[in-house]
Structures are given as structure tokens and as C-alpha cells.
Amino acid sequence: MRDEANSLYIGPLYATPETALMPRKSTRKVATVPEPGTPAPEPPLADDDFVSSLKTELTKTQQAASAKTGEDLSQRAEINRRLLQDLWEVHNQFEEVSVHLTIDPSQTLFATFVEYPTKWTFKEVFDFGSVKTIELADRATGWGGFTLRFWYYRTPEGKSHVRGIFEWCDGESYHRYSGWMRMMSQAVLYDSDEDQVHIGELHRVLKDVVVQWYAAHLARTPESFVAHLKEKYPKGASYAKESYR
């Protein structure tokens, strides 16, 4: 028999219908204190029209550089207008006999068409003075690499010149480490100081080359055209470039 006076009664060893709930401890949010020496986060930048302001500054820089070098971009712009107009007309004449040529810069950049491809006007917003290379490339099958090109360069004396060349492919060869390469040749058609370009002389050369180029397409062989270039005009650069087969 147990000693009731000296025992501690803890109740029945099973759950009662009403379960006792423990009181919850109150929780407080603790503010995060940055460590000493940690910089405070910067607020987001305001929209200051970055792109527009950058374009303005770059335009000013370009104008300052042009003024510094003494380039007469207004004269170059007139030469480029003439060349683009002439080469686009050549493009149209070849298209009439189903020979596809491409012009660079693209006609979509410098021209607004009323009736493609013959009725058009120059875009006033196009910067003709900034164009340094103009070319007309032959895209007909078997005529890859045949290109009429004009570009501006500086002589060792610092003078600005414009040069016109016709470039063609003299064949292909296989190289062990570089693969198939096109052997390119050039004939120098025209070269003059930029401020002494004679449009009449330029047109005379351009007409001679275009007629021979056109006739070679009608004959369906470039051989006579290449022979004419080699015979009549000074030899230009020769180089190899990758052939995309």
C-alpha cells in the first residue's frame, strides 16, 4: 500500500479532452545594422535620356575630328552622290538582262523610292560625306568576287585621295591549313586627289569598264573582260581570301 501523504499525484497518464496550450513568446523584428565601413546603397539613377545625349556628344566629336584633319566632307558628299547615282543606274541596266548586282551602301539607306527601281530621290538625312567606300558587286553564278569599288585613303603625305578599282577572282587553290582560298587581282581604274576629281574623266573610265563587263555577261564568259582590264589598266593589289564553299 502506498504512502499517500508522501506521494505526488500528477493526474492520469493520458490526454484530457481540453489540451493545455503553452503561451507564445512575443517576437520583435530586429533592425539590421550595417557593419562599420559598409557604404550605403545608392538610389536608382534617374532617366536622363542617355542614348540621345550620347549620340549628340559623338556627333560633336566626329565634327571636331573632321575639322581637325581639314577634310572637306561637303565635297566628298557631292562625289559620293554622283557615284551612287551612276552605280545605281548601272545596277538597273544589268537587271534588265537578269544580271544581279548589289550596291554598298545599300539603296535602302541613301534613296527613297517612288517607283522601284527607277524613280527615286536621295534621302536628305543620309550622311553622304561619311561614306568611305562604295562598291558594286556581281552576284551572278560564276562571277563571284567581281567587284567595282571606289574608296578614300590618305597618302603618306597626308593628302586625301579617291581610288577606283575593279577586282576579280583569278581562280581558287587549296591550302593545307587555311582550306580553299580565292586568288584575287585588281586593276586600278582611277586615282586622284579628292579635291581634284574630274567627273568627265571618271565617267569615261566608268563607261569603258561597264560596257566590257556587260558584254562579257552577254557572252557568258568573263575571260575577254579580264583580258581587257589587264591590258588597259595598271595592275593593282593581288591577295588571297577565304572561299566560302
pLDDT tens-digit series, residues 63-93: 776 665 556 688 999 999 999 999 999 999 9
CA gap 194, 199 in Å, rounded:
11
Contact present, 142 and 202 (Cβ < 8 Å): no
Range 129-148 average pLDDT? 95
If one compares 62 and 65, the residue with the highest pLDDT of the two is 62
Q: What is the pLDDT of residues 160-208, one digit of tens each?
A: 999 999 999 987 777 677 777 888 999 999 999 999 999 999 999 999 9
Q: Is the pLDDT of residue 238 over 60?
A: yes
Backbone angles phi, psi at 94, to 5 degrees: -70, -35
d(CA 178, CA 102): 28
pLDDT of residue 240: 83
Give Cβ neighbours of residue 145 (< 8 Å, ≥ 6 apart): 138, 167, 168, 169, 182, 184
In-domain check, residue 1? no
> Is 36 inside a domain boundary?
no
Amino acid at 229: L
Separation CA 163–CA 203 (nearest Å): 14
- Helix segments in the chain, DSSP class H: 50-69, 73-95, 107-110, 199-218, 223-232
Select the highest-mean-pLDDT range: 31-40, 59-68, 111-120.
Answer: 111-120
Per-residue confidence (pLDDT) for residue 107, from 0 to 100: 97
Average pLDDT over residues 148-165: 96
User: 186 in a domain, yes or no?
Assistant: yes
Please indicate, yes or no, whether the overall pTM of this predicted structure exceeds 0.75: no
In a domain, 13, yes or no: no
Top pLDDT among 167 and 34 is at 167
Classify burial at 213, counting beta carbons within 10 Å of its beta carbon; exposed 0-12, middle 13-18, buried 19 or more: buried
Residue type, position 105, single letter = P
Q: Is residue 151 part of a domain?
A: yes
Answer whether residue 207 is part of any domain.
yes
Range of the domain at 123: 73-242
146 in a structural domain: yes
CA distance 87 to 105: 11
C-alpha cell of residue 18? 481540453
Given a contact cutoff of 8 angstroms between Cβ atoms, the answer to whether 215 and 226 are in contact is no
**Helix spans in 159-222 (H):** 199-218
In a domain, 50, yes or no: no
* C-alpha to C-alpha distance for 102 and 92, rounded to whole angstroms: 10
The total number of structural domains in the chain stands at 1
pLDDT class for 5, splitting at 50, 70, 90?
very low
Do β-strands 235-242 and 179-193 pair in parallel, antiparallel, or remain unpaired? antiparallel
